[in-house]
Structure 1
Amino acid sequence: MPLNVGDNGYGSVAGPGLSSSGAASSSETAALIVPELQFGDQDQGDEYTWRPMSKEELEETAGGPGWRRLRCYLVVLFWLVWLAMLATAVAVILTSPRPVETPLAWWQESLFFQLQPDLFNGTSPGSSDAVEALCDQLPYLKSLGISALVLRGLWVPLNDTGEHPATLPHVQHLFNESNKAGFKVVLDVCEVQTAEKSEEHAQVTHVIIIFYVYLIISVLVFSQYTLRFWLSQGVAGFLICDTDAAFTEKTLVQWRRILEEFSKEDEERIVVVKQTREALPSLKVSSQDLNVTLVDVVLKSVLPQSPRLPSDRQVGEAIEAHLQAPEDDTWLGWMVGSKAPSDLKRLLLILLMTLPGTPVVQYDQLEPAQGGNNSELADNTHTFKSRHSITALFKSLSHNRAREEALLFGTFTFLPFNKSSNASEDSSPPILAFLRSWGCVHFLVLLNVGPEARPLDPGWAPALPEAGVFVASSPMDRMGAVALDTLVLRPREAVVVKLFEPGSYS
């Protein structure tokens, strides 16, 4: 727009100190804010004038005096709506059903490792070399996530004072080192008949036989004294079989009273019973002076005892029977039990670490690192790589179990497959699956015990989320995201998939 548009325009702008006619004028007197232009009556020859609007004119232009009142009402209404939305959100969060974290005892959170001290270097039980070998392995076991040890082949006091000059100092040293490392120690005092039935214990040394003889005598005759002796040494619990003479209501009631004497708030002493029969009697006692559960943990074997290696179908049927078993109020522990085929060792390890309850891993499933045997490991590279792979899988599973509520105390849901669409006519077992859930987090565990690769049926579980991420797999070679409709399980493979609800990133 030209700066000088004539007299009938918006006015003229001259150079500094000059008017449009060239005469000097004072530019400082010009208004910096141009007021609204008010038009006169051109027919009557009125000229255009400039003046600011009055307060009344501004109020009339803005809608009248009620505009301020309306604006105040709108501001108040906005804050009321905002507060109402906030209160509704808080009420929804507080009233929505959510899982309540269950307080767990130390044995429910722990990962048990069953071993024999003399298995480290072939020394006899109770010798100083065996104890030192076990003490040297404690930091390694702790790094794997193990927090409780089940010891077999230990020693019992052989006289009234509870002293054994050859072994008691070694036992005390072992317990002291275990307590320093943060381990709980549970003594396996299961009767000798159980060990004799196992093929791997067919050639028991005379030392172990003598030990079990004294052990059975002490349990039958001096049970209360024996319990007090071991508890004073720092033992956290005892493991017995359901066929032991001590597995009676009268004896267990006495044991429970003694355990309560030595129990503390964070160091409760426990009794674990290994189930070998099909069913156990009632383990609860209610009386005037005692209202407790006599046994804290019922230990079950996934595989039945057998002198021969079980077939794929036998393993699948045994696992399926446990997955379909009704829920029990007693806290369960799980171990493999019988000798399993080597190609199913990783699959069974994943099963133990994901079942609800306490996993008890045996020494033949996960052998500790052997100190000073590098030359022997170098001679067998395949054995070393296999052991390292199992150790890495075990460490990954133990750490996931420790930090995931769904794997620690989440709900359990068995997911049956439609065998007509999933299983063939041969003897190959179908896929086994179950779900561990906590809130909106779900862990899907899939087990293919058979020798054939099997895809998942797209219509198998329509209520499940369709995608997830691999947490673990038995070959340790699956990583990243996965879609269930494209997942194919390889022969004798187990996988753990963390599923995600749509829109959830838990």
Structure 2
Amino acid sequence: MTLKVEVDPGYGSASARGPFTELDGSETVPLLIPEDQHQQYTWKPLSKEELLKCAGGPEWRKFRSRLVLCFWIGWLIMLGTAIAIIVQSPRIASPSLHWWQRDVFYCLQPALFMDADSDEVSHISRVSEQLPYLKSLGVGAVILEGFFRHDSSPPNLTEIDQSLGTLPQFTRLITESRKAGVRVMLDLCELDLFEQESGNDTQVWSGASEYIQYSLRYWLEYGVSGFGICDTDAAFSTETLMEWNVLMQEFSSQDDERILMVRQTKVSNITVNGSLVELVTKSLIPPSHHPLSPAEVTEAMEASLQTPQGLWPSWTVGGGVPLELQRAILVLIMTLPGTPVIKYGDEVNPIQEQLNQPLALFHTLIQSRAREEALHFGRFTFLPFNSSMSSSGLNSTATPPLAFLRSWGCVHFLVLFNLGSEPHTLDPDWAPSLPEAGVFLTSTGLDRFGPVSLRSIKMQPHEAIVIKLFESDNSS
């Protein structure tokens, strides 16, 4: 069968069998292959010999097998080398902390716990009922203040103030505290452990020391986890600490360590021996008879932050903090290295309580401290602000901001404070070595979220901010 196409005679004609042979003005092309020709083009599979010939022969097959074997051997060598590098590379190991280094301490006076509707429940029993609440806050140890009577001289250290409760009720408190996972410590500050009028009578001082040793042993046998003493107490001395330390070691075990805590005051210049005391509590704000101004609080904070800390520190607020700065001070205590010591009511801020967020900031700080190693035991670096720091619309007498860095490995947390009453805009060049990008962890107003650039931070009055910094093109 052929197809005939009419064209201009000048084109000639063409057929499927060869060149133009006719000049009649038509082209003929076969549309179907004849049956006999179709059969001679039938497909047949290649034989093994033909395939080997196409593949290059047996020698090429051996070469390919050896090439695949070399590939897998090289891959296994690289994998083993990578594993060896990872195993042998130095890593920052998390330190093994004692319980008093991990937990948050909570100071309270049992006399503050009272039932307005009933006098049948004692103050100590009220403390027992509050243990689940304290545990939910993240508190690990409770320091009972005002536990003994102050009107006797010398004080009776084996008898509870009867207005607070009885010994069986205290025994129940210890039992409930163990169930809740909250330790109980007794504060001996503001007690005249040694009679002042005893003078230099060595025999009298020796007798008083033996009585104190007996009293401490008495409460340790009931399950008390330790004691606190002020460095201004007449009983405070290296000899006393040595005797008490031996007693703590006698009752300590691997799972139940008993500790001794010293409250260090600003008026005392006594150096505490770190081998005898586990915790040295320092006040961030010096005691004063009047509320301090924001500038005075900033100056006190800066002095505390720049003081070298030889021992494991323990921080408390102190006195004289204005109401509008309480949230910022709480952020400071919970982000400083060491053990935070808060007092009853510090976790509830009146301003946040009006916003129906009385514990939101405290919960956020507790969770961040427990989750982030850098905030728990990371390196501390104070970041001073120089004169190049710019402030929006501020004069030279404005309260300068404060900042420090907590670092662990490649993770960094920047903590900023503006304790003044006017906003601050940070100079982009105030800390050129810091990463420029980060993400808000929390703030005193609980109103900062998401990523942030250090070049665009404007701090509000009385604000504290915690930022997790990112390395360049890599979030830590």
**Same-fold call, TM > 0.5?**
yes
Instruction: Tell me the residue number matched to 2:168.
Output: 169
Seen in structure 2, the aligned counterparts of structure 1 residues 320 and 217 have a Cα distance that, compared at 3 Å, is farther
Q: In the aligned structure 1, how far is the partner of 2:283 from the partner of 2:160?
A: 35
Equivalent position of 2:361 in the other structure: 393
Aligned to 2:396: 426
Quote the offset at 1:170 in angstroms.
Answer: 2.7
CA offset at residue 294 of structure 1?
0.4
Which whole-Å CA distance do the structure 2 matches of 1:120 and 1:442 have between them? 40
**1:72 aligned residue (60, 65, 74):** 65
Q: Which residue of 1 aligns with 2:221?
A: 232
- 1:359 matched to 2:340: yes
Among 278, 283, 286, the alignment partner of 1:304 is: 286
Q: Once the two structures are superposed, what CA deviation does each residue of 1:391-439 show, in whole Å capped at 9, x if it has no partner?
A: 1110111111112111111111112222343466533222211111222
Matches of 1:255 and 1:364, distance apart in 2 = 31
Shift of 1:353: 0.2
CA offsets 1:345-387 (integer angstroms, 9 cap, x no match) = 000000000000000011242359xxxxxxxxxxxx978425x
Distance 2:441 2:283 in 1: 25
2:384 aligned with 1:416: yes
| Cα separation, 2, equivalents of 1:190 and 1:164 | 15
Q: How does 1:243-262 map to 2 (within 5 A)?
A: 243-262=232-251
CA-CA distance at 1:494 after TM superposition: 0.1
Q: 1:349 maps to which residue?
A: 330
The aligned runs of 1:49-68 (5 Å cut-off) are: 52=46, 55=49, 58-68=51-61
- Corresponding residue of 2:186: 187
Given that 1:219 and 1:226 are in contact with CA atoms closer than 8 Å, whether structure 2 keeps it comes out as: no
Measured after TM superposition, the shift of residue 106 of structure 1 is: 0.5
Q: Any residues of structure 2 matched to 1:70-469 within 5 Å, and which?
A: 70-121=63-114, 128-155=121-148, 167-192=166-191, 220=209, 222-276=211-265, 277=267, 279-281=269-271, 283-284=273-274, 293-328=275-310, 330-367=311-348, 384-385=353-354, 388-422=356-390, 425-469=395-439
- Contact kept, 8 Å, 1:312 with 1:428, in 2: the verdict is no
Output the CA distance in 2 between the equivalents of 1:465 and 1:134: 46
Residue identity over aligned pairs, in percent, reads 46
Measured in 2, the distance between the counterparts of 1:192 and 1:357 equals 27
- Per-residue deviation, 1:442: 1.4
Cα distance, 1:336 vs structure 2: 0.5
> Alpha carbons of 1:357 and 1:307: their partners in 2 closer, same or farther (altered >3 Å)?
same
Kindly provide the CA deviation profile for residues 64-110 of structure 1, in whole angstroms up to 9, marking residues without a partner as x: 54322321232123223322322332233233332111001111110
Deviation at 1:163?
A: 8.3
Q: Determine the structure 2 residue equivalent to 1:289.
A: none
Q: Give the whole-Å Cα distance in 1 for the aligned partners of 2:401 and 2:449.
A: 21
Q: Aligned partners of 1:494 and 1:310: how far apart in 2?
A: 18
Confirm or deny: 8 A CA contact 2:352 2:358 kept in the other structure.
Answer: no
Q: Which residue of 2 aligns with 1:203?
A: none
Q: Which moved more, 1:110-119 or 1:83-92?
A: 83-92
Give me the TM-score of the superposition, normalised by structure 2.
0.80
Matches of 1:218 and 1:31, distance apart in 2:
122
Separation of aligned partners in 2, 1:493 and 1:164:
42
Cα 1:297–1:84 shift into 2, 3 Å: same
| Residue identity in the other structure for 1:312 | P
- Preserved contact between residue 158 and residue 164 of structure 1 (Cα < 8 Å): no
Instruction: Describe the shift of the 1:119–1:367 C-alpha distance in structure 2 as closer, same or farther (beyond 3 A).
Output: farther
Whole-Å separation in 1 of the counterparts to 2:56 and 2:422: 82
Three-state SS of the structure 1 residue aligned to 2:148 is coil
Closer/same/farther in 2, CA of residues 128 and 367 from structure 1, 3 Å limit = farther
Q: Is residue 389–residue 476 contact of structure 1 (8 Å, CA) maintained in 2?
A: no
Q: Tell me the distance in 1 between the aligned counterparts of 2:135 and 2:69.
A: 62
For structure 2, the 5+ residue unaligned runs are 3-14, 19-28, 193-204
Q: Is the 8 A contact 1:127 1:170 kept in 2?
A: no
SS in 2 for 1:103: coil
SS state of the match for residue 227, structure 1?
A: helix
Residue aligned with 2:228, SS: strand
Distance 1:81 1:394, change over 3 A: same
Q: Counterpart of 1:34?
A: 44
Q: Which amino acid aligns with 1:351?
A: L
* Superposed displacement of residue 484, structure 1: 1.5
Partner of 1:201: none
Q: Which residue of 1 is the match for residue 198 of structure 2? A: none
CA shift for structure 1 position 131: 2.0
Taking the aligned partners of 2:207 and 2:365, their CA distance within structure 1 comes to 39
Say if 2:348 and 2:358, in contact at 8 Å, map to a contact too. Answer: no
* Residue identity opposite 1:335 in structure 2: T
2:26 match: none
CA separation in 2, counterparts of 1:145 and 1:470?
22
Q: Please state how far the C-alpha of 1:450 moved relative to its aligned partner.
A: 1.3
Alignment root-mean-square deviation, CA: 3.5
CA contact (8 A) 1:469 1:479 kept: yes
Does the 8 Å contact 2:155/2:191 carry over to 1? no
Instruction: Evaluate the alpha carbon distance shift between residue 135 and residue 339 of structure 1 in structure 2; reply closer, same or farther with a 3 A threshold.
Output: farther
Change in Cα spacing, 1:221 to 1:435, as seen in structure 2 (3 Å) is same
Question: Residues 152 and 91 of structure 1: is their aligned pair in 2 closer, same or farther, counting only changes over 3 Å?
Answer: same
Q: What secondary structure sits across from 1:155 in the alignment? A: coil
Separation in 1 of the partners of 2:452 and 2:206? Answer: 57
- Whether contact under 8 Å (1:313, 1:427) holds in the other structure is no
